[in-house]
Structure 1
């Protein structure tokens, strides 16, 4: 019996020693945290790509450049992502966050790229860089013409073509000067007679001529944009509801000063802008612009093309619709004329002014 008890005591002691060793081993293993290395492959790749974009980007105010200050903002995001990449203790969660933040910053940077305004809606653009050609792909090229200058009883002909002149930056032969009836004529196309419109131009008027016609299509049967009554921008539109014309109420274009003017119309809203700022909004003009009853060429600097004056209407207008009443031509310089087939937003008009106000 004594021998048996001793046997069990020895067995129990052995078990206790084994259990103690096992628990000690488990405790040691539980206190050891395995080392896991974060995967930074994607983060490194995106940093390289964004750095390439950053290095090639140029800030400015012209299409193809980026808004001022946008590069500095992007560089901050690149630096933060690079810090995470170089951190040996960075967790996978922090790497993923850095990657997402950098991608968002890159997308924001791309949104700061300055682009041409509403290219798809730009029907004609006249930069007057040595000629009267249309800068769009629409082919609405202009031809230099002489025009009438006299009173109704003797219209005559000024005998002078538009002359290339210095633009608002002083660059020679980059604008046109109009006087003595000179104008530019563009062949009629239905696309130049849209249901909504925006006309934008840089003007330099010589005097207070009330008939400083900038752009005119078929007189009162389509639309015309001019400076009237001491330099107030003035728009006439013919809509499905009738003929309406308004001026900008209070905005004045100074004499002998380059000024950006724009006007837009869409059913129910007519707007006027000077130097990129909204000056006046009318909501009492309604209807879509109507198609001209007769195809008449577009005129820049005149109320009508010379050959149309005193001609017989063929579109059902009054017999004297094309009668020459008096001299109605622009006196001054014009540059960067745009015609859109939509009413641009206030921001879009401001963008045009911003793009075109610097070289």
Structure 2
């Protein structure tokens, strides 16, 4: 009897022991099933690198600056990476994807750094750059437009230092020009068989040996010219609103830089350099010109139809524009060089 009781007691104790071990066993199993913690160190390092760029880089048009809008793109990528750091996913693969995205954003930002580049004219008597597409005359003889660029002007060997031109002769002058004229004045002309010529206010000249921003606009009614963002001339020219017909004429010329399109002569050549060349299919306001002139743009701005910023070094003699629409052919010794 005693023996039977002892056996039952032993069984009860064993049963209770098993019951008491179950939680420990379950906990042990659960612990073994927990995934390894993800490694965020690479992503965190990239966030620090990107934040250093954001803290020190600036947008502008000086070598070492960055293209306008590039900092905002990088900031957005950093914000997205921080969300991953603050609330990590369970898989390392997802962390790796976040690393790749931020790496790509940093590489894209670094590619937006502005280099010391300009388009140089005047090394020979006939240096020019030409937009030579079949539709060049049609694309750039518009009833409304804005042209702007930075120019450093060294000398005028004859009567003009031609910055840009579509001019030619067919039953009268046709096309348009922006050039350095008499007494280094900024000379803007539009012709559609008859010519309207805008010369700026007295004393409003293009200084030699100094980088200067110049612009001209036509809205179908008024021609206006600007130096360093300030309007220096205005003339009523509503009779020139048929300039676009110029593009259909037999002798129409392509957009040309550094000399006259239709009257290329050593006496008309520009001895100087250009960078950040823009053409818009609207007449921009003074405020718009002022707001953008000190920045290299991305090229996707509304109404920007052709853009050669010369922000990256290249040995090519065919320069694609940043809007991906037109090519600039460097001819007769025109080269890309530095700004000085």
Under a length normalisation based on structure 2, what TM-score does the superposition of the two structures give?
0.46
Higher relative contact order (CA 8 A, sep 6+): 2
Under a length normalisation based on structure 1, what TM-score does the superposition of the two structures give?
0.44
